[in-house]
């Protein structure tokens, strides 16, 4: 992938690959159906039960609840802990605020001790081999982040069919070494609320000299509702936050040309969420809330047509 080949191994961080391949699964709940949480935990419990034979260490679950009211009661949690005994732990935090994903995952990661962190949407159902196959890719010291393949709808991003190397990883289900996560400062919660925090983190990983890898053999089910022609149907909030994040990401990674072009388009849009996103970006600019720019030579970040952050294999 562009940029990475030019880097030297001396720029890599000091991540080592421990015999202990312990994994902590982090999920942010927001009004999540407890039944969905149960399905997800059952699948992780199965993965944990079989994982030792595949070289997987202890698997623990850390849930962060950003809902206005608790999604899981103490009784729920006791029942889940009693049922899913292959899991090393099921921890739960009620945030008492809508943290979004970046801040929520940073909060869950703080104080953890596992070797690897997995960010997971709360309704993900993993194949039992997914975690082990992802961990195995960290045997190569240059690997800094691994993304699983989502099913039924696979992300169309391009990746190397032998090494799996790709431009960025979606944190709907992605793994990274804790030591690297801490070195990089976790997700940029100052900038991102719930979109593009994963693209940004991926680019930080690559900037540090590591690879971002897509593993098609690690399959996780992530349900979607599509229109009859197979298109994604975003909600109003998803449109706003994804539009806002697009501007913030372009700014952070020194693509003022992209910012200018996208902002102009949004400002002239008939779609309210896009206009609002442009307005919010302008406010942040005027109040000095934007972070320092990086990658001035444009070595790491990729901005493709149609707002993509890596080349796509097909339209979706």
Which residues are at the interface with another protein (CB under 8 A)?
Answer: 35-36, 39, 42-43, 45-46, 50, 125, 127-129, 133, 136-137, 149, 151-154, 156, 159, 161-164, 213-219, 221, 223-230, 261-262, 265, 269-271, 274, 305-306, 313-316
Q: Report the nearest approach of another protein to the CB of residue 219 (Å).
A: 6
Q: Report the nearest approach of another protein to the CB of residue 124 (Å).
A: 9
Angle between helices 236-252 and 272-286 (to 10 degrees): 40
Question: Where does 190-271 have alpha helices with state H?
Answer: 197-207, 236-252, 256-267
End-to-end CA distance of the chain: 22
Region of 306 please: left (phi>0), alpha (psi -120 to 50) or beta: left
State phi, psi for 48 to the nearest 5 degrees: -65, -40
Nearer CB in complex with another protein: 25/109: 25
Q: How many residues does the chain have?
A: 316
Q: Report the nearest approach of another protein to the CB of residue 6 (Å).
A: 23
Is residue 79 classed exposed, middle or buried when 0-12, 13-18 and 19+ CB atoms within 10 A define those classes? middle
Q: Report the nearest approach of another protein to the CB of residue 48 (Å).
A: 11
Region of 69 please: left (phi>0), alpha (psi -120 to 50) or beta: beta
Nearer CB in complex with another protein: 103/133: 133
Nearer CB in complex with another protein: 155/178: 155
Q: Report the nearest approach of another protein to the CB of residue 110 (Å).
A: 30
């Amino acid at each position: 992938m562009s940029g990475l080949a030019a880097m030297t191994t001396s720029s890599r961080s000091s991540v080592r690959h421990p015999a202990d391949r312990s994994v902590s699964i982090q999920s942010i709940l927001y009004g999540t159906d407890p039944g969905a949480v149960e399905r997800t935990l059952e699948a992780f419990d199965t993965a944990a039960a079989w994982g030792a034979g595949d070289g997987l260490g202890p698997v623990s679950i850390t849930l962060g609840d950003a809902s206005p009211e608790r999604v899981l009661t103490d009784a729920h949690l006791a029942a889940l802990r009693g049922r899913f005994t292959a899991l090393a732990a099921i921890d739960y935090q009620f945030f008492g605020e809508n943290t979004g994903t970046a801040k929520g995952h940073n909060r869950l990661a703080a104080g953890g001790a596992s070797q690897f962190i997995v960010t997971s949407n709360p309704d993900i159902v993993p194949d039992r081999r997914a975690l082990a196959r992802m961990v195995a890719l960290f045997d190569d010291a240059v690997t800094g982040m691994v993304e699983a393949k989502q099913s039924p709808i696979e992300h169309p991003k391009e990746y190397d069919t032998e090494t799996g190397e790709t431009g960025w990883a979606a944190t709907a289900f992605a793994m990274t070494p804790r030591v690297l996560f801490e070195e990089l400062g976790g997700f940029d919660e100052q900038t991102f609320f719930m979109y593009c925090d994963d693209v940004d983190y991926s680019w930080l990983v690559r900037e540090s000299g590591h690879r971002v890898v897509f593993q098609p053999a690690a399959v996780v089910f992530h349900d979607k509702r599509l229109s009859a022609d197979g298109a994604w149907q975003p909600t109003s909030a998803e449109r706003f936050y994804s539009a806002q994040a697009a501007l913030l990401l372009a700014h952070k990674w020194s693509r003022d040309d992209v910012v200018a072009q996208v902002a102009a388009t949004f400002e002239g849009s008939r779609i309210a969420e896009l206009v609002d996103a442009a307005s919010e970006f302008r406010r942040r600019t005027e109040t000095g809330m934007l972070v320092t720019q990086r990658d001035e030579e444009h070595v790491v970040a990729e901005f493709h047509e149609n707002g993509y952050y890596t080349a796509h294999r097909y339209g979706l």
